[in-house]
Chains A and B, each alone.
Chain A
Amino acid sequence: MLRDPSSIAIGIIMPVLLILLFGYGLSLDVTKVPVAVVLEDPSPDATELAAGFQLSPYFEPVLLTSMAKAEELMLARKVDGIIRIRPDFARTLTVGGAEVQILVHGVDANRARIIQNYAQGAVVQWTARRAARGIEVVAGPATVQSRMWFNEANESRYFLVPGLIVLIMTLIGALLTTLVMAREWERGTLEALFVTPVRTDEILLGKTIPYFILGMIGLVLCLLAAKFLFAVPFRGSVTVLTGASMLYLLVALGIGLLISSAVKNQFVASQITLLVSFLPAVMLSGFLFDLRSMPDLVRTITYLLPARYYVALLQTIFLAGDIWPVIIPNALMLTGMAALLVFLTRKVTRKRLA
């Protein structure tokens, strides 16, 4: 097996490539958003507010005076938002009823919302600065002071990268196992193998172990990348992490093995495995999209997905530390799944051809 380059490629090179590619590529952080600031009021107050946007690291403002021009830019996607300061801004500031208009390009709703939030933040900061200078400002009675635990820097990568690890591990596990059985069937070695004193269990074990090791190596590489390349903080303990990861790898391999054993046609097996692993792992595991916001029916489906448990485990272990009330139930589920898969695979892989 060592002489077989493709397994090594999949087990080691691929995870590294993937994590590099997606680790850098996937990010929900919004910075340097091009916006148009339409200053219809030349007063110093308004100008100061506009300047506030220039100071903000999130925006790359283009100062304009005409709304029409701004809209043109937005249509052409040269800017993703328009901040409009009306002509009567300075006046209404003192009188009351001042208004700042924020227009966002709604196609990417998430990004738009983030832009909205940042813009609001910029305005609030501007009022705070005014207040600090002693300028009387009609402030809102209740103000919000927020703190984000575990991810003060609000770096999306911190939660995306662990999620990516889950994704990658799922793929590796699935792909490796389909390779295993496929290779054997192709070569016809299985037939002769069956008629030896070797027991089914031994065959299964013998096949799985090298791939398990490969998978673990790949995993370790990913984890190293997460820590050192992407600077994802790691607050939990390594043992727990390793334990959880081994469990998951076992489950992923188990699924692949089960499918390959049950479905003799290698080709269909790979198709099924891929379908069952990739997109669901992306969409339904909780790594990108919050599980709680899904309709109940869909949420129930996610309970069947081992990836979901692993994501929860990883996000907690990395960012929060060893929080046992979270770790234990998830780990138990994974163990349960692993056991079930082993049982099923044994039942299905008999030394039979038909």
Chain B
Amino acid sequence: MLYALLRILALTRKELLAILKDPRSRFSLILPPILQCLIYGYVATYDLNHVPYAAFDHDRSAASRQLLARIDGSGVFQRVANLDRDLEVKTFIDQRRALLVVRIDRDFERNLFSGMPATVQVIADGRNSNTAGTAMGYLDAIVNAFNIDWRNSHGQGGAPIRITTRAWYNPNLETRWHMIPALIGTLTLIQTLLLTGLSVAREREQGTFDQLLVTPFRPSEIMAGKALPAVLVGFVQATMVLLVAQLWFQIPFAGSFVTLYVGLGFFLLAAIGIGLLLSSVAATMQQAMLFSFLLIMPFSLLSGLTTPISSMPMVLQYLTLLNPLRYAIDIAHRVYLEGVGLNFLIPELWPLALMAAVTLSAASWMFRHRLT
């Protein structure tokens, strides 16, 4: 028993040494997660600002100018042009010079005063319908606010139905708050899969795996010796992303760190299991790389990172149950943003544990049995 532990420790030490000694891998350990978190943190947002819009004001009244001023002052929209011809609308939208055209009719102010419907026409470039929809939503809100003020300032009393909205856990509905905790899982997954995916394949290619198999190491010990350093590395990387999230982006952390790390631990084991299984099945390093990559793609895209799982067809939704990242993102959200405790996480933890158990044992069986 003691000898087994010693052997495992020796292997762990060797793996860590190998990782830390190579300047390239040292580099890829620290820098990419931080860099990626920073860049994607800024990039990955469905929130809009700097939306170019063109104003087509037929009325040119005080009211219309007021409305437009509100739009300008919203912080979201940027007026890029004042149009005066219908044709220009098409040009601007087609050529993507403006995302929206706000067109105010001739009778706008008059209608406002006389209580008749005063319409504001909005034309949006639907090439990215999500963005367009969001922009239109912002505009709606601005118009609503305009309405309320108009009523109040013109004493028309009797406010219309007011719709108040509040968002739980993410009061400003910043996409970033959703994205960055999710990145904790995503970036860690990518790095872990790459690391473990290559480890066995590399040893096989270089011949050191044979040397290892010839020693008294049992396959389960080899497994443990490879998983342990990967878990450590995974924790370090997750911590990096976490630090960036907290210190740079200043997203408040609502839960307990211990819970988060426990959840992460389960996730890492599952990810490592998959990586090691991949590595032991692949014939060459090139293949291992390919497989890992082919897995990373669906894992990251179909995990709820960018598009919600609930929007997927049922079949695919079931498929995501096999995706460890899905659980990781859930865990990250719940602990980071909602602050739930460990008992709430059980429905996420046991599938991860199952995955880990299955893949780790399969991998260790493969060590001896996958041979050329």
Q: Give chain A's interface residues, CB within 8 Å of chain B.
A: 14, 18, 21-22, 24-31, 33, 74, 80, 93, 95-114, 116-117, 119-120, 123, 127, 137-152, 154-156, 158-160, 171, 175, 182, 266-268, 270-271, 274-275, 278-279, 282-284, 286, 288-290, 292-295, 298, 301, 312, 315-316, 319-320, 323, 325-326
By a CB distance below 8 angstroms, the chain A residues around B290 are 175, 270
Shortest distance from the beta carbon of A90 to any chain B beta carbon, whole Å: 12
By a CB distance below 8 angstroms, the chain A residues around B337 are 106-107
- Nearest 10 A-B pairs (CB), nearest first? A106-B170, A151-B126, A106-B167, A96-B158, A140-B147, A148-B126, A110-B46, A150-B126, A146-B122, A27-B311
Within 8 A of A (CB), among B315-355: 316, 333, 337-338
By a CB distance below 8 angstroms, the chain A residues around B175 are 109-110
Q: A27-B311, A154-B129 are in contact. Are A141 and B316 (CB under 8 A)?
A: no
Shortest distance from the beta carbon of A20 to any chain B beta carbon, whole Å: 10
Q: A28-B130, A109-B175, A282-B306 are in contact. Are A127 and B161 (CB under 8 A)?
A: yes
* B302 adjacent to chain A (CB < 8 Å): yes
Q: A103-B168, A111-B308, A323-B95 are in contact. Are A141 and B173 (CB under 8 A)?
A: no
Interface hit among B9-17, B36-44, B231-239: B36-44
By a CB distance below 8 angstroms, the chain A residues around B164 are 99-102
**B120 adjacent to A149 (CB under 8 Å):** no
- Name the CB-closest residue of A to B32: A275
Q: Pick from B115, B161, B178, B313: contact of A108, CB below 8 A.
A: B178
Shortest distance from the beta carbon of B63 to any chain A beta carbon, whole Å: 9
By a CB distance below 8 angstroms, the chain B residues around A109 are 46-47, 167, 170, 173-175, 177-178
Alpha-carbon gap, A107 to B44, bound state (A): 14
**A95 adjacent to B124 (CB under 8 Å):** no
**B50 adjacent to A292 (CB under 8 Å):** yes
By a CB distance below 8 angstroms, the chain A residues around B307 are 25-28, 160, 288
- Name the CB-closest residue of A to B113: A141
Contact with A along B112-146 (1 / 0, CB 8 A): 10010111111111111111111011011001101
Contact with A along B281-307 (1 / 0, CB 8 A): 000011001100110111011101011
- Name the CB-closest residue of B to A296: B50
By a CB distance below 8 angstroms, the chain B residues around A120 are 140, 163
Q: Pick from A29, A142, A158: contact of B118, CB below 8 A.
A: A142
Shortest distance from the beta carbon of B41 to any chain A beta carbon, whole Å: 10
Alpha-carbon gap, A298 to B139, bound state (A): 26
Shortest distance from the beta carbon of B355 to any chain A beta carbon, whole Å: 20
How many of B's residues come within 8 Å of A, CB to CB? 100
**A150 adjacent to B127 (CB under 8 Å):** yes
* B207 adjacent to chain A (CB < 8 Å): no
Q: A149-B93, A325-B95 are in contact. Are A182 and B161 (CB under 8 A)?
A: no
By a CB distance below 8 angstroms, the chain A residues around B333 are 107
Q: Pick from A137, A141, A159, A295: contact of B147, CB below 8 A.
A: A141
Shortest distance from the beta carbon of B88 to any chain A beta carbon, whole Å: 13
**A139 adjacent to B122 (CB under 8 Å):** no
Q: A102-B163, A106-B170 are in contact. Are A21 and B177 (CB under 8 A)?
A: no
Could you write out 22 A-B pairs with CB less than 8 Å apart?
A96-B158, A100-B164, A102-B164, A104-B173, A105-B169, A106-B170, A106-B337, A110-B178, A110-B308, A139-B117, A143-B143, A144-B136, A145-B119, A146-B123, A149-B123, A150-B126, A156-B130, A159-B129, A270-B290, A283-B40, A284-B39, A292-B50
**B159 adjacent to A28 (CB under 8 Å):** no
* B45 adjacent to chain A (CB < 8 Å): yes
Alpha-carbon gap, A101 to B32, bound state (A): 43
**A95 adjacent to B158 (CB under 8 Å):** yes
Shortest distance from the beta carbon of B98 to any chain A beta carbon, whole Å: 11
* B60 adjacent to chain A (CB < 8 Å): no
By a CB distance below 8 angstroms, the chain B residues around A100 are 161-164
Q: Pick from B156, B190, B306: contact of A288, CB below 8 A.
A: B306
Q: Pick from B134, B161, B174, B285: contact of A267, CB below 8 A.
A: B285
* B49 adjacent to chain A (CB < 8 Å): yes
Shortest distance from the beta carbon of B226 to any chain A beta carbon, whole Å: 19
Q: Pick from B128, B160, B304: contact of A315, CB below 8 A.
A: B128
Shortest distance from the beta carbon of B176 to any chain A beta carbon, whole Å: 8
By a CB distance below 8 angstroms, the chain B residues around A31 are 311
By a CB distance below 8 angstroms, the chain A residues around B132 are 148, 151
Q: Pick from B127, B168, B316: contact of A74, CB below 8 A.
A: B168
Contact with A along B23-56 (1 / 0, CB 8 A): 0100000001000100110111111111110000
**B163 adjacent to A112 (CB under 8 Å):** no
By a CB distance below 8 angstroms, the chain B residues around A27 are 307, 311-312
Given contacts A268-B24, A320-B127, 16 further A-B contacts (CB under 8 A): A97-B159, A103-B168, A107-B170, A107-B177, A138-B159, A143-B119, A144-B120, A144-B122, A155-B129, A266-B286, A267-B286, A274-B293, A283-B43, A290-B131, A292-B99, A316-B96
**A112 adjacent to B167 (CB under 8 Å):** yes
By a CB distance below 8 angstroms, the chain A residues around B170 are 106-107, 109, 112
**A293 adjacent to B45 (CB under 8 Å):** yes
By a CB distance below 8 angstroms, the chain B residues around A156 are 129-130, 311
Alpha-carbon gap, A34 to B107, bound state (A): 41
Q: A102-B166, A182-B286 are in contact. Are A293 and B50 (CB under 8 A)?
A: yes
* B253 adjacent to chain A (CB < 8 Å): no
**A140 adjacent to B144 (CB under 8 Å):** yes
